[in-house]
Chains A and B, each alone.
Chain A
Amino acid sequence: GENVEQHPSTLSVQEGDSAVIKCTYSDSASNYFPWYKQELGKGPQLIIDIRSNVGEKKDQRIAVTLNKTAKHFSLHITETQPEDSAVYFCAARDSSASKIIFGSGTRLSIRP
């Protein structure tokens, strides 16, 4: 089955700088890769996703890149703001089943 690894586990960046979170997956047949943001006391919120027929997708300050050959995908947040502080999860859809497998999460802190 699918396995997703996420790095780093914690990340602290200066407000205004960029943040990058990286994930690798094991199942070469996986075709859907969402990213979630979880704030304290809330459920994960889908912030962006990418499908395997696309190499990059951008939504305002957030972008995701996918390298199918290397089986890794990354989340890029530019011009970080205090409200970007949260735990971010990457995920991949297991091709053999309809379940989504999550990475272990990255706690992002934005320093003022």
Chain B
Amino acid sequence: KAGVTQTPRYLIKTRGQQVTLSCSPISGHRSVSWYQQTPGQGLQFLFEYFSETQRNKGNFPGRFSGRQFSNSRSEMNVSTLELGDSALYLCASSLGVDEQFFGPGTRLTVL
């Protein structure tokens, strides 16, 4: 069974731009969570989607948004990029409410 895939793997943007990241969960998994990982803040929860509905949200500004499609694929969008948004963005999928399986992440660099 294929794992969680994320595209693109690397991305370079400039301040003020917006970016869209994509995540394809493990087949059959309906829950997708997004995390931001930085050296200073560690792994921080962004949001979780289940059956196309946002089920939970972390403490991030409204510039961070996401959605989930009927095939469970998910996208997250960051608008008006800031230097501090440079991070590894991780997507995790789960079948139930507990075990989460992570993708390799998208490394976003904001210049």
Contact = CB atoms under 8 A, between A and B. Distances in A.
Tell me whether A and B are bound partners: yes
Interface of A: 32, 34, 36, 41-46, 49, 51, 89, 93, 97-105
B103 interface: yes
A49 B44 CA distance: 19
A46 to B, nearest CB: 6
Contacts of A99: 33, 45, 48, 56, 58
A35 B100 CA distance: 11
Contacts of B64: none
A42 B6 CA distance: 12
A98 B48 contact: yes
A42 B9 CA distance: 11
Chain B interface residue count: which class? 20 to 34
B90 A49 contact: no
Contacts of B104: 41-43
B55 interface: yes
Nearest to A102: B43
Nearest to B101: A46
Nearest to B41: A104
A43 B102 contact: yes
Given A44-B90, A98-B55, A89 B43 contact: yes
Given A98-B56, A98-B97, A99-B33, A45 B42 contact: no
Interface string B8-39: 00000000000000000000000001010000
Contacts of A105: 42-43
Given A43-B105, A89-B43, A49 B99 contact: yes
Contacts of B105: 42-43
Contacts of B33: 99-100
A100 B42 contact: no
Contacts of B99: 34, 46, 49
A43 B56 contact: no
Contacts of B98: 32, 34, 49, 51, 93
Interface in B66-111: 90, 92, 97-105
Nearest to A41: B104
